[in-house]
Amino acid sequence: MKPQIKSKQIVASFMARFNRIKMPHELRLKDVALYRFRYEGLTDGLSRLPVPDSIKIGRRRYWVPRTMEQFSDTITYGQKMYFGRGGDDDIELAFRYICGYYMPLVTDQPWDEKNIIAFRKNIVNSFAIEVFPVALHLITLMAQLVERELKLLKREPTKQEKAAGIERMGKFAELMAVMFLTESFNCSENELMQKSYGDCLVRFMLQHEQNAFAERLANVYQKENESKIKKPKR
């Protein structure tokens, strides 16, 4: 065979492999990320596949939390904040949640958001049929966690607070939470990011109950003072 013909066959073989659309069970995360135009719309279907008991990252398999309680018990406050920032599309959300949840487990290192970009290479070869349903499952657990947190810490603003425009403070909620927790734990912000989310939630709940008690006590004193004022003199 002439060298020129052989080289053309190699190029043709390479192009055929490059242009071949892979079956879902063959797809890796890198395939979906690199050839978005080819697999556009597939991620939604993949996300709705049954959630596996474990996901393969590198050469090992890692457990998938089944419930919101298991999820919340295994994340740090830094991970919770990281998940809360969302993503631009399904693929970036998959990277965010899989990397964000499994980085400490795979590396056996404390949570540090700065290491996320370097860690992404560890999951690009994971199978898409596992990555997307697990990612959607983690997103669902995160939504349940936020809903539980809101119920536990819910407090209706007073008329005075509404009149003063308390809703404007919403944009500073994350910063105020970090300031409260660093003071409560007497730690730096970096150290806080590695604290158990459960421990942080307990601090929020304790402060919530203390504030509620202080309000109830103030109301008791106010009613006592009002009754003394209204009481007729003998």
The pLDDT tens digits for 98-127 are 999 999 999 999 999 999 999 999 999 999
Distance, in Å, from the CA atom of 47 to the CA atom of 167, rounded to the nearest integer, reads: 36
**Three-state SS at 20:** coil
136 and 205 housed in the same domain:
no
57 and 29 in contact (C-beta within 8 Å)? no
**Which is more confidently placed, 3 or 222?**
222
* Helix 128-153 × helix 197-230 angle, to 10°: 20
pLDDT in tens, 159-192: 555 544 455 545 667 888 999 999 999 999 999 9
- pTM comes to 0.80
90 and 26 housed in the same domain:
yes
Q: Which residue bears the tokens 């797809």? A: 27
Say if 12 falls within a structural domain: no
Q: Check pLDDT > 60 for residue 204.
A: yes
44 and 137 housed in the same domain:
yes
Which range of residues forms the domain containing residue 103? 22-149
Q: How far is CA 47 from CA 16, 168, 192, in A?
A: 28, 36, 32
132 and 185 housed in the same domain:
no
40 and 134 housed in the same domain:
yes
**Nearest alpha-carbon partner for 134 in 35, 38, 62:** 62
Say if 192 falls within a structural domain: yes
38 and 128 housed in the same domain:
yes
33 and 122 housed in the same domain:
yes
134 and 29 housed in the same domain:
yes
